[in-house]
Amino acid sequence: MIDLEKQNELLKLAAEARDRSYSPYSHYAVGAALLTKDGVVYQGCNIENASYTPTVCAERSAFFKAIFDGVREFTAIAVIGSGESPAYPCGVCRQVMAEFCDGDFAVITSNCDGSCVIAETLDQIMPHRFGPKDLL
Ligand code: THU
């Protein structure tokens, strides 16, 4: 797990990223801040589409930015939505985490105003997952 100060910093960056959300269909804005093992933070937001299926979640937009930059080792992600409940990563985003992250990867979720923050690990939110090791 990461310390509280780093957690709060990531949540702040996730909230900043949420302001970039393009979500005219769901009106549910999400921001993410992904911390690499080198200490760099990649931000992402959800980007929706009139055709719906091309929509990408905030978490994946952050991961894909990092992976494009050649970074593949991650420590934590903070996710903040615009709803009353903490914004938990969807199943597809969890599967992307399973591809690149260890079980102790920290997943910090927050509701809209930060009054409810939950810190868990990938092992906790996605036990018994299928991943790269299964194809060795
Ligand atoms: N969304 C995310 O950005 N992350 C998640 O893990 C769950 C869902 C977005 C996708 C879509 O733009 C909106 O939230 C409603 O599903």
Residue in 5, 16, 48, 59 annotated catalytic:
59
Q: Is pLDDT at 69 greater than 90 in this prediction?
A: yes
Give the model's confidence band at 24: pLDDT under 50 very low, under 70 low, under 90 confident, else very high. very high
Nearest C-alpha neighbor of 17 from the set 29, 6, 27, 2 = 29
| Pocket of ligand 1 contains residue 90 by CB under 6 Å | yes
The pTM assigned to this predicted structure is 0.97
Residue 1: predicted pLDDT: 79
Residue 118 phi, psi (nearest 5): -125, 130
**Residue to substitute in 57, 95, 110, 122 for testing ligand 1 pocket (most ligand atoms within 8 angstroms of CB):** 57
Give the residue whose CA is nearest to atom 7 of ligand 1: 90
> Mean of the per-residue pLDDT values for the chain?
97
User: ∠8-77-99 over CA atoms, to 5°?
Assistant: 170
Counting atoms of ligand 1 from 1, which one is nearest the CA of 56? 10
Give the pairing of strands 30-36 and 74-81. Answer: antiparallel
- The yes-or-no answer on residue 48 being catalytic is no
| Pocket of ligand 1 contains residue 96 by CB under 6 Å | no
Number of CB atoms found within 10 A of residue 15's CB: 18
**How many angstroms separate the alpha carbon of residue 47 from the centre of ligand 1?**
9
Q: How far apart are CA 85 and CA 88, in angstroms?
A: 9
Residue 109: predicted pLDDT: 98
The sheet carrying 106-110 orders its strands as 41-45, 30-36, 74-81, 106-110, 117-121
